[in-house]
Chains A and B, each alone.
Chain A
Amino acid sequence: MGNGWFRKGKGPQEFPEGLWIQCENPKCRELLFIREWERNLKVCRKCQYHFRLSGAERAALLTDPGTFIEHDAGLESRNPLNFPKYNDSLERYRRETGQSDAIVSGDGQCEGIPFSLAVTDARFMMGSMGSVVGERLTRSVERATQNGWPVVLVSGTGGGARMQEGILALMQMAKTSGAIAHHHAAGLLTVVILTHPSMAGVLASWGSLGDVILAEPGAMIGFVGQRVSKQAQVSKVPSDFQTAEFQLAHGQVDRVVPRKDLKATLATLFEFAGYTPVARPDAVSTGSGE
């Protein structure tokens, strides 16, 4: 809407007073009262559009209050290729997000059951996976393997492997998958949650390696961007191509789960897999990899 009524910015458009926000879904554009929208976990009450969450918000959503302990927050990319403008981008995104890279990872509890968590954050360079994302996610899986815990991996990655880190970014696909291989071989549970967007190198590695794969409604999920895949073929692209619902229909995800039900679904899966709550909430801070 170009009438100047709404503040222009990167995030959702807000009224000047910061009381209202407009739904990002172009087919909806409903005005939402911010406090109500936040209570509704940043989901549009009218069309159920799921706004993006930050890594910290996602951790808060999936863990019991006060149990999440972040790990490895100090890891920063070294710009191994000395790639043009990469340092500037990293600096800008660090300022904007307050994070060192496109990931938040750590340990927490879900209904008292300890688990490791890694969340990629689409607000930081499209959530793309370079050395830092790969390393922190790998360490999360390794902590879970060492502790005999389940691991939950949440993708908000539109960019796939981060091209500014060249071949080392591609190797993160192997590294993360290797960690999952050994977690898997130890008989432990991996749950993947695909949020908007989940694409490319992340989907072709850890994003597809959940024992159970959940997806948020309407999330874009696919191998390569639609622009590329349209060029590559003569056949028509279905209207729901690369949505969570499309992937559900084609057997690639187990369930499409609304945001408000994600934590309960995790708890159900943890219980099914035989994990039990710990007695004390602070027990989770022992045996960490730091």
Chain B
Amino acid sequence: MSAGSIDDFEQPIADLEAQIERVKRLTREHGLDRNDEIAQLEQQVQRLITERYSNLSGWDKTRIARNARRPYTLDFIRLMLSDFTELHGDRVFGDDGAMIGGVGKLGDQWVTVVGQQKGRDAQERHKRNFGMARPEGYRKALRLMQLSEKFNRPILCLVDTPAADCTVPSEERGISEAIARTIRDMFLLKVPVLVVILGEGGSGGAIGIGVGDRVLMLEHAIYSVIPPEGCAAIIWRDSSRGPEAAEALQLTAQHALRFGVVDEVVSEPVGGAHRDYDEAARQLRTALERNLAELSSLTPERLLENRYERFRKLGQFVDTAANGAG
């Protein structure tokens, strides 16, 4: 089963849903009263979904996070922001379709939003480079964040990427430098920055726009230093052992919360964000507005200090010389 598909563990759900459709059609076409049966089946589906989604492994979540039915960055932008106006280009080389940027309103609040965008069909995937941003993408993102700072507007970073682009042209144009500079300069932005891991938080590509005052993560998203398959290939020389690696890497939102890497896990509709885009966006928007309100009272100095401390404390070690925990 490919890592981008959740069809296997959703099959029983899909079967039941198909059965309900059949019964409904019969009801319509033949005027039979089967409402009791329908209600019963619908209850059964809900139970099945709840049960299945309350007990997900790291690998299950990996597949949910990568699934093409999952709402993407532009879906969330469409559903959460009004007056969204996309802005393009890094002013150096080009425009990167894998990285979206623009301005819009979250409720009454003007914000700047940047984020990786994946594609659902072949043409869109090509245009979006599978959500793998190039140097131009990170430079565009930073340019727009600094534009936002100039006009004192908060920044919203939506992360959904398998990794940054690692082709020869990206190397030639300094993909490492583009990521590094964006990370560094995000620590100096004098406006509130909210980061959301929407789906895949893929290593350097994710942290490249991942420095914020608050980092939120959707319930079934993943955040990992390396794709599980890549990890398995290195450790066991067998990339098919991704499921084991996904457990070992502890890449779920619940793990990230425990490590202090994220501040809040945003609930998804029962059965995952792909089952109800509107509800997923509504819950995220509520969380974003609450966090923005909390940050709005802080001075720029305090904001920067807290942002640094937030990341400064991440890591686990012991000091054997001092005989104490670090």
Contacts and interface: CB of A to CB of B under 8 A. Distances in A.
Interface of A: 72-78, 80-81, 83-85, 100, 130-132, 134-135, 138, 160-163, 165-175, 177-182, 184-185, 200-201, 203-209, 222-224, 228-229, 232-233, 235, 237-238, 241-242, 250-252
Contacts of A235: 167-169
- Give the most central of A208, A237, A238: most B CB within 10 Å: A208
A229 B170 CA distance: 10
A173 B204 contact: yes
B89 interface: no
B134 to A, nearest CB: 11
B316 A228 contact: no
- Give the most central of B168, B249, B256, B307: most A CB within 10 Å: B168
A168 B223 CA distance: 10
Contacts of A237: 168
B101 interface: no
Given A163-B225, A163-B226, A229 B207 contact: no
Contacts of B226: 161, 163
B210 interface: yes
Nearest to A169: B225
Interface stretch (B71-79, B171-179, B276-284): B171-179
Contacts of A135: 315, 317, 326
A75 B183 contact: no
Contacts of A207: 176, 180
Contacts of A208: 174, 176-177, 179-181
B261 A167 contact: yes
Nearest to B173: A250
Contact of A181 (B184, B203, B320, B322): B184
Given A163-B249, A173-B183, A134 B315 contact: yes
B255 A167 contact: yes
Contacts of B234: 163
Contact of B204 (A181, A185, A204): A204
A135 B133 CA distance: 28
A167 B171 contact: no
Interface string B93-122: 000000000000000000000000000000
B180 A168 contact: no
